[in-house]
Amino acid sequence: ERTLADGWWSIDACASNVNRKCSADAKRPTPSHALKALLRFTRQAFFLHLWSMSLNPSATRQLRVVHILGKLNTSGPQWRVLNIIRDLDSFSHTVVSVGSEKGVLYPRYAALCEVIQCPRGRGLPLSFFFRLVNVLKQVRPDAVVAHLFGNHTVVAWAARLAGVPVTLGVSTNDPEYYSGSRWWPMALAHLGRPVCKGEIAVSSAVGEVLRTRMLLPARRITVINNGCPVDEIASRAAAGRNAPPIPRRARVSRLIMVAAIRRTKKYQTVVRAIGELRDRGRQTELLIVGGTARDSRKKAIERVIDELGLRENVTFVGVREDVPELLGASDVLVHSTASEGFPMAVLEGMAAGIPIVASDIAPCREALDNGVCGLLVPTGNATAMADAIEKILDDDSFRANLVKAAFERVSSRFDVTQMSAGYEALLSSHLGVTAEE
């Protein structure tokens, strides 16, 4: 391979050659000789320019980013990365999925960029580690973004061994809540510090957890809020209002909750709130939009439904790709949860023009501007949720003001363009170039 010393030798040789030719030509000062000398110099300068660019590959191609994700399902992180790839065209992208299955969003990802399967598997990650090293050596990215906090430590060390100059870890939720321990995610985060350039938090609330609970230095943490394609969602929601994907029942208010059925989501609270509304003489129905990895969690919700006699009022619709249309065809979005990173469902509801009732936790407060853009209720309090839903349904002016404030906030703060600009600026600063270069 050429070295810098070789480069200087080439420059000196080029200059010496040009001087020698020009000196020889000086003895025969004719226009044809001068033109030949100029052509020789231009040709050698051109090839020297090509050689110098070969020392800096990023000058001749787009910077490449590898995104490390789990299964490409319809969870918030997967939609977020899909939006980033679609909007951030100043970089080229490759997705490495470490899930054992492709997931329903795989076709959408494959239509936008290269997708490589590298399943993590169970047990010790040594086999996965070396397979990931080989994948990264083949792709040769300029940066790796690991959208799996905790696992980003393994990814960062694999990237270092593969010669990748920049690795960043993304925390999409509260790592302490999800792991059930403070010490394990904190240990992983600090083990990754020597080879990971920094951590991205999807909300200020998550950033605070990383700083105060994981004890990461504030200088390492960058907050880049989740974002969604506001105009696209608004347009699709309007279409859903005109032609509901799921037919509505006359004189029945429709509630919708969009979230995977998992430990953090408190669907039972919403079901109990519907029971209270029925006892008050108000007819409502609930659409549960999202899949589950464990049937036991769905059965726990069904037990509450049967206990209250609400089988006709609750519908499990599973994983859907027409969520904006479903939002547009609903009256209230409810988001009952014990923990969040920065709720994509809430942002999409704000963009869809539907009033929102959410749990009063820090990320929801951040999204809804402390209750200006939606109502906040204590987690697990079915009566408070029923009261909030009833207030929205009974007061047209109040509902309209909530919707207007929410749309203005999501448009100005949480559009996908702002999120992508944040990633572009951070990646470019770590790579030492602007994205256009």
Give the integer Cα–Cα distance in Å for 397 and 309: 33
CA atoms within 13 A on the CB side of 416: 20
**What distances in angstroms separate CA 250 from CA 44, 100, 247, one per listed residue?**
80, 44, 10
Task: Describe the chain by its helix, strand, coil percentages, rounded to 5.
Answer: 55, 15, 30
- Which helix (H) or strand (E) covers residue 97, if one does? strand 92-97
Q: Which of 418, 391, 419, 392 is nearest to 403 (CA)?
A: 392
Question: What is the rounded average pLDDT for all residues in the chain?
Answer: 88
Give the integer Cα–Cα distance in Å for 262 and 231: 30
Q: Is the pLDDT of residue 284 over 90?
A: yes
The pair phi, psi for residue 228, each rounded to 5°, is -140, 160
Residues contacting 199, CB < 8 A, separation 6+: 149, 152, 168, 169, 170, 171, 189, 210, 216, 220, 221, 222
- Residue length of the chain: 437
Q: Is the pLDDT of residue 351 over 80?
A: yes
Q: Give how far the C-alpha of residue 340 lies from the chain's centroid of Cα atoms, to the nearest Å.
A: 14
Mean predicted confidence (pLDDT) in 101-118: 95
What are 162-178's pLDDT values in tens digits?
Answer: 999 999 999 999 999 98
pLDDT band at residue 13 under the 50/70/90 scheme = very low
**Minimum mean pLDDT range among 33-37, 48-52, 60-64, 131-135:** 48-52
What are 400-419's pLDDT values in tens digits?
Answer: 999 999 999 999 999 999 99
pLDDT band at residue 121 under the 50/70/90 scheme = confident
Give the integer Cα–Cα distance in Å for 88 and 419: 10
Two structure tokens written together for 202: 């999807």
pLDDT band at residue 30 under the 50/70/90 scheme = low
**What distances in angstroms separate CA 437 from CA 45, 60, 90, 247, 370, one per listed residue?**
22, 8, 9, 51, 41
pLDDT band at residue 432 under the 50/70/90 scheme = confident
Two structure tokens written together for 159: 């990237």
Task: Give me the residue label for tokens 């992508």.
Answer: 420
Task: Give me the residue label for tokens 């499990």.
Answer: 316
Q: Is the pLDDT of residue 10 over 90?
A: no
- Determine contact, residues 62/427, Cβ cutoff 8 Å: no
Two structure tokens written together for 236: 């699709």
